[in-house]
Amino acid sequence: MQKKLVDKYGRELNYLRLSVTDRCNFRCYYCMPEEGIDFVQRKDLLSYEELEYLTRIFCGMGVDKIRITGGEPFVRKGIMHFLDQLSKIDTLQQITVTSNGTITAEQIDDLKKMGITKINVSLDSLDRQRFFEMTRRDKFDEVFTCILNLLDKGFTVKLNCVVADDKNVADIIPFVALTEKYPLAVRFLEEMPFNGTGKFETPKWNHLALYDYIAKHFPTIQKLRDEKNSTSTNYKIPGYSGSFGIIPSFSRTFCGSCNRIRLSATGEMRTCLYGPPSTNLRDVLRQGATETELMDEILRAVARKEKDGFEAEALSAKAPKKSMSYLGG
């Protein structure tokens, strides 16, 4: 009998967020300090063989959608071969990748050959100077060229923009305007406390403030039907090619339909981004656990999944928040 991933609230978990590295070639302010973080040693990372083995176990338990995250996935050597191996898992219906947009033209072509054609690009400003201030890297032209190349190759592209009061509010309307010409989905995210500094204030630009601000500039907003388990509330401007959405990532209004689990590059399995790790599958695996024992360990972790992100956060309220680069987003 197949062991399905269903938590105590009846939520079926079929979506794995799989981090392949904690390293990144950017230093976005909301993800890590400017000086970076203490990156994990190579021996502490799951090897590609271990990642693939664990992924196949998850897929055998009902996971049919995977998002590859980091850090920045494309900075890890050998990533394309690993993605090619994942693309051959028969029961895996969808593989998506989150990137900062430093994907080469050759990699884009190879991704398309694998059937991986859904990419999320983190882009917090359309202004070159603000982009530099937020990422601490002068890479705007490279990133925007990558986005245009992805669209030209027929990829489904989503742009993720984290909105902060003193950083990029001036970019909100230009991002929505961008969807007039380009068939992409812009998603505005509330800022989250995973910047690796231990300092964070409740975001002023929550999902309600974001909607009200956009509605004042675009009074003809059309509500779109949201996909099942969607974390974003989605809209479009009539006549525009693309759409935009708002993700209440700090307000956490979508927890009731959560279908996600996370596995970090070091093997930490989390049933909620805000909570502590439920187990470390790297350690269990390297201690010689069988496939059945690994499945049982995963099931025990899923059984402890909290009702929402607030209950999960309360479990580790006194512990400092780690960098998003380490957690895997």
Distance (Å, rounded) from C-alpha 184 to C-alpha 161?
13
Check residue 30 and give its pLDDT.
Answer: 80
- Cis check: omega of the bond before 71, within 30 degrees of 0: yes
Tell me if 104 sits within 8 A of 150, measured CB to CB: no
Tell me if 187 sits within 8 A of 242, measured CB to CB: no
* pLDDT of 107 higher than 50: yes
pLDDT tens-place string over residues 253-285: 899 999 999 999 999 999 999 889 999 999 999
CB neighbours of residue 93 within 10 Å: 12
* pLDDT of 18 higher than 90: yes
Distance (Å, rounded) from C-alpha 272 to C-alpha 13?
11
pLDDT band at 29 (very low <50, low <70, confident <90, very high): confident
Report the CATH fold assignment for 15-327: TIM Barrel (3.20.20)
pLDDT tens-place string over residues 134-180: 999 999 999 999 999 999 999 999 999 999 888 899 999 999 999 99
User: What's the rounded mean pLDDT across residues 64-92?
Assistant: 97
CA distances from 211 to 158, 188, 307 (A): 18, 10, 26
Is the pTM here over 0.85, yes or no?
yes
Angle at CA 246, nearest 5°, toward 193 and 157? 100
Check residue 1 and give its pLDDT.
Answer: 46
* pLDDT of 329 higher than 90: no
pLDDT tens-place string over residues 202-239: 888 899 999 999 999 999 999 999 999 999 999 999 99
Task: Give percent of the chain with pLDDT exceeding 90.
Answer: 76
**Domain boundaries of the chain, sorted by first residue:** 15-327
Q: Looking up tokens 């956490």, which residue turns up?
A: 252
Residue ranges in the chain assigned as alpha helix (H): 48-60, 79-86, 105-114, 128-135, 140-152, 172-181, 207-217, 281-286, 291-303, 309-314, 324-327
Tell me if 45 sits within 8 A of 266, measured CB to CB: yes
Task: Give percent of the chain with pLDDT exceeding 70.
Answer: 92
* DSSP result, 148-202: HHHHHTT-EEEEEEEE-TTTTGGGHHHHHHHHHHS--EEEEEE--S-SSSS----
**Listed range (97-106, 240-249, 313-322) with the worst mean pLDDT:** 313-322
* Average pLDDT across the chain, whole number: 92
* pLDDT of 84 higher than 50: yes
Pick the closest to residue 260 from 107, 87, 96, 119 (CA basis): 96
* DSSP result, 64-89: -EEEEESS-GGGSTTHHHHHHHHTT-
Check residue 166 and give its pLDDT.
Answer: 83
